[in-house]
Amino acid sequence: MTLQRAALWTIVIAATVYLLIVGRSLLLPFVLALVLWYMVDALADVIERPGKLKIRIPRLIALPAAILAMGGLLWVLGRTITTNVTAVIAAAPNYQVRLQKLIGQAWSLATDEPAPTLAELFSRVSLADTLGDVATAVAALVSVAGIVLVYTGFLFVEAGHFRRKLTLMFTDPAQEARMLSVLDRISRDIRVYIRIKTTLAAFTSAVAYVLMAAVGVDFAGFWAVMMFFFYFIPTIGSILAIIAPTLLTLVQFDSLTPFLIVLFTVGPLQIIMANVVEPAMLGRSLNLSALVVIISLMVWGTIWGVVGMFLCVPIMVVMLIVLSNFESTRPVAVLLSADGRLPSEHA
């Protein structure tokens, strides 16, 4: 019986992964819409909650305010990225000269032959094909953004009827209470994750911006924004956040001093925040195994790309909580946890 159950679970997991990969184009817009809806709803809860003045803002005011705030933030971020990408393209010829010089210096250490030019290195790259791919990617992004907004609107409409539907689904009050408890636990843990991650990402990117601006790194604001987003990708996000601006600094300046300053200030900052401060704040809350986080990063990154990397931790939090509520899957939940304790045991 155990062997049959193992075979059944293997088939179910394989079929699920296959459907996630095949249905990527259909599932990703809905998943992104769900994330956007959740973030706006969480922000509305914060606005609605009574503050020091003990004044409770009505939901009809808090929700539009949250939508406007989130929309404004996304617009500012999009504007910042677009403007800086345009500036980077305009400054590319200057970087090209410096990059060619660095290639020549590195090449001279290995051989006495003349260093290849950038044109020779990238001779096999078709500019027309590259621009076509970029245009296609941008068009796809715009179309997906429209679908995400439509899905998000319907999610707000559906959310108003969800509790009533849930009550009608269960005739047993105990089952209904159990389901509500699971949903509340998922919501609470994910909100803790988003709150702590966002706070640390904002602090890290702000300090990095000050450091890069003091050194004189080009587009310091743009790299700070990129660091903010990279911070939400476990493990490799911090590495990318260090590599990108330090390489630009290496290309921008003739001296190695600015490069070393950025490397040995922004680098340790990212490492300490991601590997010391964050685990201390998040470890007890989510109780996810570090190995599980790394594996889920690789798995969801393979299935859904960059979006999967961003969402791997929330997905694993949901899986841990759901699996811990069924006797047949509790052993799996124990393996996913950091210390063997399940969410229901330390809620």
Give 175-209 pLDDT, tens digit per residue: 778 888 888 888 888 888 888 888 888 999 999 99
For 219, the enclosing helix (H) or strand (E) is none
Task: Specify the pLDDT at position 53.
Answer: 56
- Both 259 and 292 in a single domain? no
Average pLDDT over residues 79-96: 72
- Both 144 and 265 in a single domain? no
- pLDDT category at 105 given cuts 50, 70, 90 is low
- Both 140 and 264 in a single domain? no
- pLDDT category at 137 given cuts 50, 70, 90 is low
- Both 109 and 201 in a single domain? no
Q: Is residue 12 part of a domain?
A: no
- Both 223 and 340 in a single domain? no
Structural domain boundaries enclosing 77: 26-117+128-169
- For every residue of 128-172, DSSP letters joined together read HHHHHHHHHHHHHHHHHHHHHHHHHHHHHHHHHHHHHHHHHH-SS
Task: Specify the pLDDT at position 121.
Answer: 55
User: Which of 81-90, 138-147, 196-205 has the highest average model confidence (pLDDT)?
Assistant: 196-205
> What distance lies between CA 141 and its chain's CA centroid?
17
- Average pLDDT score, the chain: 78
Q: How many domains does the chain have?
A: 3
What CA–CA distance (Å, rounded) separates 30 from 33? 5
Last residue of a domain, one of 229, 261, 282: 282
Task: Specify the pLDDT at position 284.
Answer: 59
What CA–CA distance (Å, rounded) separates 224 from 237? 13
Amino acid at 202: A
Strand partners, 337: 288
The tokens of 286 are what? 């989510």
Q: Is residue 161 part of a domain?
A: yes
- Asked whether 65 and 47 are in contact (CB, 8 A), the reply is yes
Give the single-character DSSP code of 343: G
Q: Is residue 18 part of a domain?
A: no
- Both 163 and 71 in a single domain? yes
Q: Residues near 161 by Cβ (< 8 Å), separated by ≥ 6?
A: none
Cα pseudo-dihedral 150, 152, 156, 158, rounded to 10 = 70
Total residue length of the chain: 347
Q: Is residue 19 part of a domain?
A: no
Q: Is residue 21 part of a domain?
A: no
> What distance lies between CA 296 and its chain's CA centroid?
13
Give 26-83 pLDDT, tens digit per residue: 888 888 888 888 888 888 888 887 666 567 778 788 888 888 988 888 888 777 777 7
pLDDT at 138 over 70: no
Q: Is residue 123 part of a domain?
A: no
CA atoms within 13 A of residue 298's CA, in its CB half-sphere = 5
- Both 268 and 320 in a single domain? no
- Both 41 and 102 in a single domain? yes
Q: Is residue 76 part of a domain?
A: yes
pLDDT at 119 over 70: no
The tokens of 240 are what? 């990318």
- For every residue of 261-277, DSSP letters joined together read HHHHHHHHHHHHIIIII
- Both 60 and 141 in a single domain? yes
- Both 220 and 233 in a single domain? yes
Give 231-275 pLDDT, tens digit per residue: 888 878 888 888 878 888 888 887 788 888 988 998 888 888 887
- Both 42 and 147 in a single domain? yes
Last residue of a domain, one of 240, 258, 282: 282
Q: Is residue 345 part of a domain?
A: yes
For 217, the enclosing helix (H) or strand (E) is none
Top-confidence residue, 347 or 68: 68
- Both 96 and 160 in a single domain? yes
